[in-house]
Amino acid sequence: MARAKDENKVIAIYEATLKLVLENGFTGLKMSKVAKEAKLATGTLYIYFKDKEQLINALYLYIKTEQTKQYFWDYSETDSFVSNFRKLWFRVVEVGMKQPEYAIFMEQYYRSPFIKEDSKVQGEALISPVYQLLERGKAEQLIKDIPLELLVCQLLGATNELINLHQEGNFKVTKVHLEAMFKMSWDAIKN
Amino acid sequence: MARAKDENKVIAIYEATLKLVLENGFTGLKMSKVAKEAKLATGTLYIYFKDKEQLINALYLYIKTEQTKQYFWDYSETDSFVSNFRKLWFRVVEVGMKQPEYAIFMEQYYRSPFIKEDSKVQGEALISPVYQLLERGKAEQLIKDIPLELLVCQLLGATNELINLHQEGNFKVTKVHLEAMFKMSWDAIKN
Amino acid sequence: MARAKDENKVIAIYEATLKLVLENGFTGLKMSKVAKEAKLATGTLYIYFKDKEQLINALYLYIKTEQTKQYFWDYSETDSFVSNFRKLWFRVVEVGMKQPEYAIFMEQYYRSPFIKEDSKVQGEALISPVYQLLERGKAEQLIKDIPLELLVCQLLGATNELINLHQEGNFKVTKVHLEAMFKMSWDAIKN
Amino acid sequence: MARAKDENKVIAIYEATLKLVLENGFTGLKMSKVAKEAKLATGTLYIYFKDKEQLINALYLYIKTEQTKQYFWDYSETDSFVSNFRKLWFRVVEVGMKQPEYAIFMEQYYRSPFIKEDSKVQGEALISPVYQLLERGKAEQLIKDIPLELLVCQLLGATNELINLHQEGNFKVTKVHLEAMFKMSWDAIKN
DNA sequence: TATGAATGAGTGTTCATTCAT
DNA sequence: GATGAATGAACACTCATTCAT
């Protein structure tokens, strides 16, 4: 875990790591390159993180926390389901498109030998509000009565792919496209 | 006459590689482990594949070809759009759930430093019938008039996540669930 | 501050390499053995030299420079030709007999796949004073009017073999022998 | 040792080996490449030679024998010393310039880990007539009274270098040059 | 704390040699 | 005998981690 010494360095390390994972996946990720990218000596990295595994798991939690903050900062549970669903859907897509590294990292993390079960569980707990919202939609009979897991597949599968499509850069995603994608997702789950 | 080069060995190598990628991602993929898993000496690997990069790209093409065969073996373009769409959707899911390694490998491949542009292009060409089918659906005004790329995000995003869900093993996907997922996908794109 | 890069290590590596080439030629030259002989970890070698090729070419230049220094450190172009010729001839032989590894290395280097043309050219430029001296001898009509290349064959061929003879150890080369050899060389070229 | 089965193959193997040593030294010498160059399967090589070491030592003896044959085929011990010396000197140079691979191979052989003492001794015995001739010259007081080893250094050092010079190809060695070189060698040793 | 040289186990790959055909 | 696929020990080189400064 990062010591409180220099929070800026921790962030620099996270960003360096994300940049490199974006470029080459976990396979090309070398501690020395992370250090260089973060403008640190290799040894300094090990002051902040015990080893590579810890860096990666800490980064995972950092990303999950960041994403959650950005998803929910102006979220009000008292708003209507439909309003909240729409807000959240667009938030997920916007955040993902702004920081595609996050999604890429996640994808690789789940299949890596670095993953630690408790970090994973901890990270996933952070997005429980998403599950709660969908539960509420079901309770209010606004969306289909289908296991949450499947609804999440449907919704996040589509948004993730959309983020990838944007990141690859061969297709320019416009406002109109976003509305069309949202419409499809809504049509998919609505009752 | 010496022993003849053995096509079975190529398949054994592919399967060993897939198994290992499934377990640990590309990061944990070691040529010596592939050899051991395929019950070969390390050197033998290099008779069949020049290097790791070539193995991975060849495997990518193999998977794409296999998938395509399984998707389309009894496919008839003269059937109705709706019938074909349904058949293809289920085929994609069934194949994916039977061989989740394929999807996992693909995911990692696209972010790896091994990817060779021309292999990628070649592989992607194989699934053009999917694009053609959706094009036809649009022409017949049965599905929404939205760029193909977005329709594909919506559909394959969802099926990929479903395959992952199945593969993780924490949620048992039943026939009923499949029908529900299909319904969502269809509702998402239908006109 | 970390440890500073250590010039002594470079020398230690050179000496280790020379020792091993002397024993087994380039064929038996292994980076791990060089490291062990120089009392370093394998990886340390690669801090100082990018790869084996670079080590070998750097060592070639080092040897050429060392030899040149030793040949010419008290050399004065204003002395008479005969005096200079004699001094240089004995210097070449003394240096060669003191460090037979140098000659052995050179021999192998020229036939190795490691040789880089520009290193070779650079190294050969260092001994141009030898050529200049012989040119002067020709101009002063003290030695035969024969292409320099042939004079050099005659002279260095003999000295190299003498060095080999000494190095093999089956024949003890004395002062008297040296004088005899010098006499032969001089008789060979003198006008 | 080669079995008597197919003498042509043995020669083909020798020539292939020589060609490859000429190109890259012993370092680049691979049994599989020798086989390919000799238009044989790798395994076939091992029918004729037990291993690499044996091939190299057999080849050494082959070369020494060939050279000797070519040096002495029309040699008559009853001719005068001077006539024989001249004939032999030119023979050595001609043979060396015609087959520079021989000299290159020898050079590398003596510093390789493949060398076997008894092969070396056996090979060197073959050129004893050279020693005998010089002994006779000394007895007849035609050449300097100097240890044979030194005379050989002087003479063969120069011829070897001349052969190298020719082989490198940057200097065209003419008849006139040969006469000049011979003159130098003779002046070096004559009484 | 920060540095980056040093370490050495581990990786991809080669190649002498064997062996099934 | 001839073949060339198979083997696996070894080698060049890398990189996570340590440690002297």
* Whole-angstrom distance, CA of residue D116 vs CA of residue D125: 15
Domains in chain C: boundaries: 1-49, 63-189
CB–CB contacts below 8 A, A to B = 130
For strand E, is any atom closer than 7 Å to the CB of D32? yes
What pLDDT score was predicted for residue D1?
41
Nearest to D180 among C25, C111, C150 (CB): C150
Looking at the structure, give the CATH architecture of the domain made up of residues A61-189.
Answer: Orthogonal Bundle (1.10)
- Distance CA(B156)–CA(B106), nearest Å, equals 13
- Per CB-CB distance under 8 Å, the chain B contacts of A130 are none
So what's the pLDDT on residue A2? 40
Chains that touch C (3 or more CB pairs under 8 A): D
Percent helix, strand, coil in chain B (nearest 5)? Answer: 75, 0, 25
For D7-16, the pLDDT digits (tens) are 889 999 999 9
Give the nearest chain B residue to A143 (CA atoms).
B184
Closest chain C residue to the Cα of D160, Cα to Cα: C157
pLDDT in tens, chain A (191 residues): 444 468 889 999 999 999 999 988 999 899 999 999 999 999 999 999 999 999 999 999 999 999 999 999 888 889 999 999 999 999 999 999 999 999 999 989 999 999 999 999 999 999 899 999 999 999 999 999 999 999 999 999 999 999 999 999 999 999 999 999 999 999 999 99
Helix (H, G, I), strand (E, B) or coil at B157: helix
Interface of D with C (CB under 8 A): 21, 24-28, 104, 107-108, 111-114, 144, 146-147, 149-150, 152-154, 156-162, 164-165, 171, 177, 180-181, 183-185, 187-190
The reply to whether residue C25 touches residue D24, judged by beta carbons under 8 angstroms, is no
**CA closest to E8 C1', residue:** C41
- Write out the DSSP string of chain A: ---STTHHHHHHHHHHHHHHHHHHTGGG--HHHHHHHTT--HHHHHHH-SSHHHHHHHHHHHHHHHHHHHHHTT--TTS-HHHHHHHHHHHHHHHHHH-HHHHHHHHHHHTSTT--HHHHHHHHHTTHHHHHHHHHHHHTTSB----HHHHHHHHHHHHHHHHHHHHH-SSPPPHHHHHHHHHHHHHHHB-
Residue C129 in this model has a pLDDT that exceeds 50? yes
Residue D43, CA: closest nucleotide via C1'? F3
Phi, psi of C143 (to 5 degrees): -125, 165
Across the interface, do A112 and B162 touch by the CB < 8 Å criterion? no
- The DSSP element (H or E) to which D93 belongs, if any, is helix D81-98
| Contact state of D150 with C28 under an 8 Å Cβ cutoff | no
Q: What angle do CA D116, D122, D125 make, to 5 degrees?
A: 140
CATH number belonging to domain A1-50 = 1.10.10.60
B9 touches strand F (CB under 7 A): yes
Position C14 pLDDT exceeds 90: yes
Residue D5 pLDDT grade (very low, low, confident, very high; cuts 50, 70, 90): low
Q: Give chain C's count of helices (H) and strands (E).
A: 10, 0
What pLDDT does residue B1 have? 57
DSSP assignment of B102-134: HHHHHHHHHTSTT--HHHHHHHHHTTHHHHHHH
Nearest CA in chain D to C176: D146
In Å, how far is A4's CA from the nearest CA of chain B?
30
How many C/D residue pairs have CB atoms within 8 Å?
Answer: 130
Alpha carbon of C94 to those of B62, C6, C99, C126: distances in Å? 67, 30, 8, 19
Let me know: does A190 contact B185? Beta carbons within 8 Å.
no
Query: For A181, which of B21, B113, B154 is closest by C-beta distance?
Result: B154
Distance between CA atoms of B98 and B173, rounded to whole angstroms? 12
Cα(D128)–Cα(D68) distance, integer angstroms: 10
CA of D47 to C1' of E17 (A): 12
pLDDT at D2: 40
Hey, what CATH class is B64-189 in? Answer: mainly alpha
Residues 145-174 of B with CB under 7 A from strand E: none
Q: Is the pLDDT of residue C156 over 90?
A: yes
Q: Which of the four pLDDT bands, split at 50, 70 and 90, describes residue C3?
A: confident
Identify the CATH homologous superfamily for domain C1-49: Homeodomain-like (1.10.10.60)
Residue numbers in A near B181 (CB within 8 A): 150, 153-154
Across the interface, do B150 and A184 touch by the CB < 8 Å criterion? Answer: yes
What fold does the segment set C63-189 form as a domain? Tetracycline Repressor; domain 2 (1.10.357)
The answer to whether chain A touches chain D by having 3 or more C-beta pairs less than 8 angstroms apart is no
pLDDT tens digit sequence for D18-67: 999 998 899 989 999 999 999 999 999 999 999 999 999 999 999 999 99
Using the structure, give the distance in angstroms from the CA atom of C116 to the C1' atom of E10, rounded to a whole number.
Answer: 31
Whether C106 contacts C60, CB under 8 Å: yes
Task: Give residue C172's Cα distance to chain centre.
Answer: 21
Q: How confident is the model at residue C72 (pLDDT cuts 50, 70, 90)?
A: very high
Read off the pLDDT of residues A41-89 as tens digits, 9 standing for 90 and up.
999 999 999 999 999 999 999 999 999 999 998 888 899 999 999 999 9
Residues of chain B with pLDDT under 50: none
